[in-house]
Structures are given as structure tokens and as C-alpha cells.
Amino acid sequence: MNNNTEKTAVIVLGSNMGNRLEMLRLAIRWLERGGFKVTAKSLVWETAPWGITNQPRFLNMCVMVSSGLEPLELLASLKEIERLLGRKESVKWGPRVIDIDIIIVEDKIIDQPDLKIPHPYMQDRAFVLAPLAEIAPWIVHPRLKKTVKELLQALPEEKMDWIIRI
């Protein structure tokens, strides 16, 4: 239910098929058209795939948005944007034209079958932490009680040597 109380959320955008940069731009445009106020955008980073590694490299970025949507409504809205941009269901961690994931919503902890906030892998993913550290290094992971900057600094060096800011 939309209760008109603005909430701040961080989402990560990713694409490794087609015109990757244009997909990120279109996703931001659709967010704005969908009533989200984009309050911060990271630079774009090129990253090696995570999970299934035999696929093209991704372009990723983090975006901070505010909206009156509750987290499940936010998820539904982001899934609709993915669909509008041509995302098809495929294998988990496989190639995709666009991927939009909720990373964190303020200090909320949500553990539902279709939605886990904070994102359960955020602390392991340089492609989330590096761009997020650009725009909001002070955000505290509500479960781990560490800032984004601290989580990024804790990543092993081998997780960082394949990430390139473009």
C-alpha cells in the first residue's frame, strides 16, 4: 500500500546483452517516468559476471531513489520496468538485457520468499559496493552493522581486480 511516506532505496542496474549503456539509461528514464525521484547515480562500472562466469561482462551502476512505495510495491514496479525493457526469464545469474535489484531500503530488514532486504549478497559483490560507495559510503547494512565503505574495504583483493569504472 502506498502510504505517501517517502522512502529512500538503493537499487543496482545491470546489463550484459545488447547496448548495455543504453539499457541503463532507459532504466533510469523508466524509473523517473514511474514516479521515482532519482536522488543519486553512480558512475557506470564494467564488471565480470558473478555466479555464471561464462557470459559477457556487465555494465553496472547504483541509483538512489525515493518514492512512497512499500518494498513489495517497489519490487513489482521494478519487475515491470524490466519487462518493458525486454527482460525475459532465464537461468539464475545468466545473461540479461537488464537487471534491476533492490539493495537496501533505509534500515528495513525484510525476509520474504520473493523479497529479501538488504540484498542477501550485497556484501559479497564488488559490482554493488564499489558504485554504492561512490554515492552513499555512509549507509549502514542493517544486519551486519557496517557501512558500505567498510564492506567494500573488507572485500578480498581478488574480488576487486576485475571491476573497472568507465
Parallel, antiparallel or unpaired: strands 7-15 and 99-105: antiparallel
Written as tens digits, the pLDDT of the chain (166 aa) is 445 689 999 999 999 988 999 999 999 999 999 889 999 999 998 888 877 777 888 899 999 999 999 999 999 999 999 888 876 676 565 567 899 999 999 999 999 998 999 999 999 988 899 999 999 999 999 999 999 999 999 987 765 555 666 5
Give the pLDDT confidence of 64-99 residue by residue, as tens digits. Answer: 999 999 999 999 999 999 888 876 676 565 567 899
Contacts of 70 (CB under 8 A, 6+ apart): 1, 2, 3, 7
CA dist., res. 99 & res. 13, Å (int): 6
List, by residue number, the catalytic residues.
87, 96, 99, 101
Q: Any idea where the domains of the chain sit in the sequence?
A: 7-165
Q: What is the pTM of this model?
A: 0.87
**DSSP letter string over 42-109?**
PPPEEE--SSS-SSPPEEEEEEEEEES--HHHHHHHHHHHHHHTT----STT---S-EEEEEEETT--
Q: Look up the CATH superfamily of 7-165.
A: 7,8-Dihydro-6-hydroxymethylpterin-pyrophosphokinase HPPK (3.30.70.560)
Q: How many CB atoms lie within 10 A of CB 66?
A: 13
Of 113, 119, 118, 83, nearest to 98 by C-alpha is 83
